[in-house]
Amino acid sequence: MNKVLRMFFAAEGAGKWKVLACLLLGNIVQGIGIAGLVPLIAVVSESANQEPSAAATYILDGVRTLGIEPNLEVLLLIVVGGIGAKSAINLLAMRYVGYTVADISTYMRRRLLTHLLNARWAYLSRQSLGRMAQTVNGMSVRAGQAFKLSATMLSNGLEATVYIVVGFFVSWQLSLVAMAIGLLITVSLSRFVKQARKAGKKDAGQTNELSSLLSDAFLGIKSLKAMERQADYVGLITSNISRMRKTMRQKVISKEKLTNAQEPLLVIFLAGGFYVLIEIFQMPIAQLLVMGVILQRTVKTINKLQQQYQQAAVMEGSYDILYDMVDEAAAQAEDRGGSKQPSLDQGARFENVSFAYADQDGPVLHDLTLEFPARKLSVLTGPSGAGKSTVTDLLLGFQQPASGRILVDGTPLNELDLVAWRRMIGYVPQDLMLFTESILANITLLNPHLTEEMAIEALKAAGAWDFVAGLPEGIHTQVGERGARFSGGQRQRISIARALVHQPKLLILDEVTSALDAVTEESICRMMKRLSQDITIIAISHRPSWMEVADVVHKLEKGRSVKDNEGKERKAIGEQGT
């Protein structure tokens, strides 16, 4: 069975059963309406001086037992009433479909997002932003649409079955011809469904690829515009766009081929069918008149079904991408560590730690031994690419050492409850990022336990309160697209406030003052020094202001710990006498 059709039964909740019940009821009512055509044949046959069929006589007698005289008006009323009621019930079914579509899209979005956010950092950091956004949003919507399509297909499938059953009841020859015609058209045109499936798969893949390229471009739009190199970038993605155009054409053409080939084939096969019914089965013309209606509706419904099947085949590509990503992200679920509750009273220690990234030739860290004493300010310094951010990633539990151990208060990091450990951490990354929200929301992330007063305290501690208080809307000011309303330094200070608001025990700052002037940097350094009486701070920097306030300086070069230039690798415990 087509994956999209399976979607109907895979949907969570009671919605699908309500839809199915309505569809069944609607089609039974329609069946009664269509069955009304059968005695109609008898009435027509009588006027043509022909014997009514056994089935017609049976139904006519049945109607008479209800005390109703089955004249032309009554029979027409049954036909119109049955078909009309089916439409009303169908509308109700489609209402439930609408609810379920919204539920499925929401559910898929949440499910994928949860799996992605809970995946290992090593996996997540390799994913394309555009691809993830497109899949969480666009593909999840398509999953909902797929449900709608599957419900419509089911409805048409039931309708075709009703026609065939009613037709069979009247004349098995008619049903046979209808089924044969439906089958012949379906088989003759099945290659267009295959073409559409192929194009749909390509289209979904290319859309995701383009989303990924576009999100990169929009992130770097300023530098492209500054150098007037947008045209170069358009050239870079032109081949992708051209390939998409080709795929779109294939999609449209295969759809049109199917739709337009169905009509002539229908006429040809119907003519053949009538020929068989008249010449071989000797069906009287009067009977054929009404039978023709059933025959034509049956085959038309089968045609519609095939068109929808083709649409479903196109959708399969998006469906595959969505489910592959859900499965992949679920398989990459992060190990949440051990059960020991973390503390940070003595400090963290790297003991002969070596580490290599999966796609790198050699190790990035070599036999590294480092101490980060509690309630001290440690600075990690060294040239670009030396491995400083990798050290903090290991401490965050984002990566695991190839050899050696990381100890927190003497307990190996992998035995600690990682969730509890990270809740103790405030982290400000190098490539910081504000959300397109208010300053307050950027700091509290709308966590109900974090109040506005706590956010103001954090802003004060981060040296940002003066400029925030001076804004007309203060802490409620919108930061603009990814913080575009503020300078790099202001963004850095808001990010520091975000890291401080939940009162962390360990604060990790990765080059956080790189965009600040010397005066502001010094004031932040002094503030961090003060904070380090209560919080363990690890700052990555090579700026003198940080060296001034540091209790410990660890210098890294090519993944190894070295003495800094003046040979003053400070040992906090020794120097501070603690």
Ligand X SMILES: Nc1ncnc2c1ncn2[C@@H]1O[C@H](COP(=O)(O)OP(=O)(O)OP(=O)(O)O)[C@@H](O)[C@H]1O
Token representation of residue 171: 């004349």
Measured from the CB atom, is 316 or 511 closer to ligand X?
A: 511
β-pair type (347-355, 365-373): antiparallel
Measured from the CB atom, is 151 or 425 closer to ligand X?
A: 425
Q: Quick check: 389 binds ligand X (CB under 6 A)?
A: yes
Q: Quick check: 361 binds ligand X (CB under 6 A)?
A: no
Helix/strand/coil for 513: coil
- CB distance 364 to 355 below 8 Å: yes
Cβ-Cβ contacts under 8 Å for 168 (sequence gap 6 or more) = 174, 175
Token representation of residue 80: 């119109």
- CB distance 432 to 492 below 8 Å: yes
Q: How far is the CB of 328 from ligand X (least distance, A)?
A: 18
Of 20-28, 67-75, 264-272, 383-391, which segment contacts ligand X by CB under 6 A?
383-391
User: Roughly how many angstroms between the first and final C-alpha of the chain, as a whole number?
Assistant: 71
Query: Which residue type, as a one-letter code, is found at position 301?
Result: T
Q: Quick check: 384 binds ligand X (CB under 6 A)?
A: yes
Q: Quick check: 119 binds ligand X (CB under 6 A)?
A: no
Measured from the CB atom, is 99 or 357 closer to ligand X?
A: 357
Query: Using CA atoms, how far apart are residues 26 and 92, in angstroms rounded to an integer?
Result: 10
- CB distance 118 to 334 below 8 Å: yes
Q: Quick check: 360 binds ligand X (CB under 6 A)?
A: yes
Strand ranges of the sheet holding 536-540, from the earlier edge strand across to the other edge = 425-428, 506-510, 536-540, 377-381, 552-557, 560-562
Q: Where are the alpha helices (DSSP H) in 470-515?
A: 488-500
Percentage helix, strand, coil for the chain under 3-state DSSP, each rounded to 5: 65, 10, 25
Of 74-82, 379-387, 439-447, 525-533, which segment contacts ligand X by CB under 6 A?
379-387
Measured from the CB atom, is 21 or 356 closer to ligand X?
A: 356
DSSP 332-397: TBPP-B-SBPP--SSEEEEEEEEE--TTSSS-SEEEEEEEEETTSEEEEE-STTSSHHHHHHHHTT
Q: How far is the CB of 492 from ligand X (least distance, A)?
A: 15
Q: How far is the CB of 258 from ligand X (least distance, A)?
A: 47
Query: Using CA atoms, how far apart are residues 299 and 274, in angstroms rounded to an integer?
Result: 13
Of 211-219, 232-240, 346-354, 378-386, which segment contacts ligand X by CB under 6 A?
378-386
Q: Quick check: 390 binds ligand X (CB under 6 A)?
A: yes
Measured from the CB atom, is 430 or 503 closer to ligand X?
A: 430
Among positions 359, 431, 453, 566, the unique one binding ligand X when judged by CB under 6 A? 359
Q: What single-letter DSSP state applies at residue 51?
A: P
Q: Quick check: 125 binds ligand X (CB under 6 A)?
A: yes
Q: How far is the CB of 542 from ligand X (least distance, A)?
A: 8
- If binding means CB under 6 A, how many residues of this protein chain bind ligand X? 14
- Give the closest residue to 200 by CA, choosing from 322, 313, 325, 320: 313
Q: Quick check: 431 binds ligand X (CB under 6 A)?
A: no
Measured from the CB atom, is 49 or 360 closer to ligand X?
A: 360
Token representation of residue 497: 């406030």
Question: How many C-beta atoms surround the C-beta of residue 481 within 10 A?
Answer: 11
Measured from the CB atom, is 386 or 434 closer to ligand X?
A: 386
Among positions 386, 408, 458, 496, the unique one binding ligand X when judged by CB under 6 A? 386
Q: Quick check: 17 binds ligand X (CB under 6 A)?
A: no
Q: Quick check: 357 binds ligand X (CB under 6 A)?
A: yes
Q: How far is the CB of 364 from ligand X (least distance, A)?
A: 4
Q: How far is the CB of 388 from ligand X (least distance, A)?
A: 4
Count of CA atoms in the C-beta half-sphere (13 A) of 163: 26
- CB distance 440 to 383 below 8 Å: no
- R_g (Cα) of the chain, nearest Å: 35
Q: How far is the CB of 544 from ligand X (least distance, A)?
A: 16
Of 168-176, 277-285, 358-366, 449-457, which segment contacts ligand X by CB under 6 A?
358-366
Q: How far is the CB of 393 from ligand X (least distance, A)?
A: 7
Token representation of residue 476: 């409620």
Q: Quick check: 362 binds ligand X (CB under 6 A)?
A: no
Q: Quick check: 385 binds ligand X (CB under 6 A)?
A: yes
Q: How far is the CB of 538 from ligand X (least distance, A)?
A: 12
Q: How far is the CB of 114 from ligand X (least distance, A)?
A: 23
Residue keyed to tokens 């050699």: 362
Q: How far is the CB of 558 from ligand X (least distance, A)?
A: 9
Q: How far is the CB of 17 from ligand X (least distance, A)?
A: 47
Among positions 108, 258, 364, 508, the unique one binding ligand X when judged by CB under 6 A? 364
Q: Quick check: 543 binds ligand X (CB under 6 A)?
A: no
Token representation of residue 387: 């491995």
Q: Quick check: 387 binds ligand X (CB under 6 A)?
A: yes
For 440, counting Cβ atoms within 10 Å of its Cβ (0-12 exposed, 13-18 middle, 19+ buried), the class is buried
Of 30-38, 266-274, 353-361, 496-504, which segment contacts ligand X by CB under 6 A?
353-361
Measured from the CB atom, is 255 or 554 closer to ligand X?
A: 554
Q: Quick check: 379 binds ligand X (CB under 6 A)?
A: no
Measured from the CB atom, is 209 or 393 closer to ligand X?
A: 393
Quote the Cα angle for 373-455-419, to 5°: 50
Residues 468-497 that bind ligand X (CB under 6 A): none
Q: Quick check: 400 binds ligand X (CB under 6 A)?
A: no
Of 193-201, 214-222, 354-362, 419-427, which segment contacts ligand X by CB under 6 A?
354-362
Q: What single-letter DSSP state applies at residue 475?
A: G
- Give the closest residue to 462 by CA, choosing from 431, 496, 489, 490: 496
Query: Under the rule (CB under 6 A), what is the footprint of ligand X?
Result: 125, 357, 359-360, 364, 382, 384-390, 430
